[in-house]
Structure 1
């Protein structure tokens, strides 16, 4: 059997004290570069591994972060989670990713599990209701931040979001600027704060261009019903529709497919724009205009602020809004 080396063995083989080995491992305290290289060389040669359980108990830290995500198959969510995980790993943290499937009971079960594992922090991504950390227990002290989901209590956390309102306003304005006179918004049944902001941006663009918003005439909600059948009904009752802002790219691509099946030319008959700028937008026919979210910036800001809260060096009660970018393509040109 391979020998299991202790920290005392590493100190003896390196010719330094146990305290010095500990300082090198934790990169904390004073030691020379020569000493650091010598200790690390011995660690590499022996295959020594730090007893992280004991270390974590001493520091009262688990070096783990929980991430609650409503739908890991969603491109935006998956991209943000992947980038957050990558940054956290570089910072010495492992992640526990929990896909709630937009189920409140499942979310609560995950929260209790994460608390029992002693996570150092929590990142909550999107959701229909304001996030309440006290659902776990009234005494929960887990530092957390919210992305695209407003916290119930803003005092001890940070809210991070793309500028969904401005993105929707710009997207709808681009339909008007391309010649559309009667645009509608295509939404889905899932409610979120980001969706509400996008709807508000659409409404304000209509108002800016002198059109009143009427839910029955300016909004189509796609559910389990066949999108083509629903689009056909809407276009028959409102043949003047000549532009569609889809609340995300998944909805936009469903609408695009339906329009082409119905013999509509995009963008000649109806102009179409989505939101999220998914990779497939460049490969649809016609290519899909969209609004791009800065996922790199969202992930970086989220991790920086969470670690600040974990280390009690961060600022709370803050909302951080990340700018978006309009990506015009053939579907609106």
Structure 2
């Protein structure tokens, strides 16, 4: 039967059209026996509900927008996997967008998601001053921030201890004897970039080690930008630090290519550590010492939090900090 309607289902199940509607929208109590009759009729008639029409009527689309800065980064892909593993069980679908760390693009993405009437948004913002989040809240669109915080908005947050983890990683380099430590910073317009740099600086200051201007690079969380900056340091300026701290995995990969092209071995010539494990770490020798974030768990927590927020928009926002681990591998040389 083609173009099966609610009326056809009601007739087949021998119930009213209103009862079929209640089963579809799950908005009024229906007895278990009646619900099973309706679902059986839908299956036998191959009835496919018009989700667009239903969303217009109920004001629920079962769509959640997820906005991330870098679709090529395995860390964010793990987060998305975690989110989907939770929300899909409640029949929500994800609309994925990425911003390339471009704040103007991010604002346009958020506006489009609002126009598509998503039920909620999970956001890893590219700017700590994102005031548009407040507008989304006023539009009754719940927002959960993941990985990155923003300054003013009073919303739920899932994050790592970026300051503490960066401090721990820097401290490890120092205790291994390193003093000429180069840092390849991320985007200093976002909380993760700021907090990781602050953690690095705090450790260096606590050990009375000078932070040399020429060893502070801005990789902007970009593989390409990190490659360019490290190449300028090593090839153009002829400066070879004893150790390099890459503030994320993609920048570590760009750094590794520069070292390889210039026949500098890890860790014999230059030690290298990174915030977050690089992709295909198991295929690389030596494996990099890193801060390992639990991206999958962060995604699952964000999925749980956004479902709670959809159901209850009035509860007080909360912040969850997911613990990261220092994973020591063979990429740091001990200096006596």
TM-score (normalised: structure 1): 0.85
Give the aligned partner of residue 218 of structure 2.
Answer: 221
The Cα of 1:309 is off from its aligned counterpart by: 2.2
Partner of residue 206, structure 2: 208
Instruction: Map residues 311-326 of structure 1 onto 2, 5 A cutoff.
Output: 311-312=311-312, 315-326=315-326
Distance, in Å, in 2 between the alignment partners of 1:315 and 1:136 is 18
Is residue 2:123 matched to residue 1:124? yes
Instruction: Count how many residue pairs are aligned between Structure 1 and Structure 2.
Output: 326
SS for the counterpart of 2:320 is: strand
Instruction: Please report the RMSD computed on the Cα atoms of aligned residues, expressed in angstroms.
Output: 2.8
- TM-superposed deviation, 1:135: 8.0
Q: How far is 1:47 from its partner?
A: 0.8
CA contact (8 A) 2:82 2:298 kept: no
Which position in structure 2 is the counterpart of 1:289? 289
Superposed CA deviations along residues 46-93 of structure 1, whole A, max 9, x for unmatched, are 111223233323322222222222222222223323432443332222
Give the 5 Å matches for 1:166-245. 166-188=164-186, 191-214=189-212, 216-222=213-219, 223=225, 225=228, 227-233=230-236, 236-237=238-239, 241-245=241-245
CA distance in 2, matches of 1:153, 1:217: 33
Greater shift after overlay, 85-94 or 14-23?
14-23
Structure 2 gaps, min length 5: 220-224
| Contact 1:64-1:96 within 8 A present in 2 as well | yes
Q: Which residue matches 2:253?
A: 253
SS class of match (2:97): strand
- Whether the 8 Å contact between 2:286 and 2:330 is mirrored in structure 1 is yes
Alpha carbons 2:298, 2:322 under 8 Å: kept: yes
User: Does 2:277 match 1:277?
Assistant: yes
Distance 1:186 1:111 in 2: 29
TM-score (norm 2): 0.84
| 2:140 equivalent to 1:141 | yes
Query: How far 1:274 moved relative to its partner?
Result: 0.8
Deviation at 1:116, TM superposition (A): 1.9
Deviations 1:139-183 (A, max 9, x none): 53322122233234333x112211111221222222234343432
Deviation at 1:19, TM superposition (A): 4.4
Q: Greater shift after overlay, 130-139 or 308-317?
A: 130-139
1:133 positional shift: 2.2
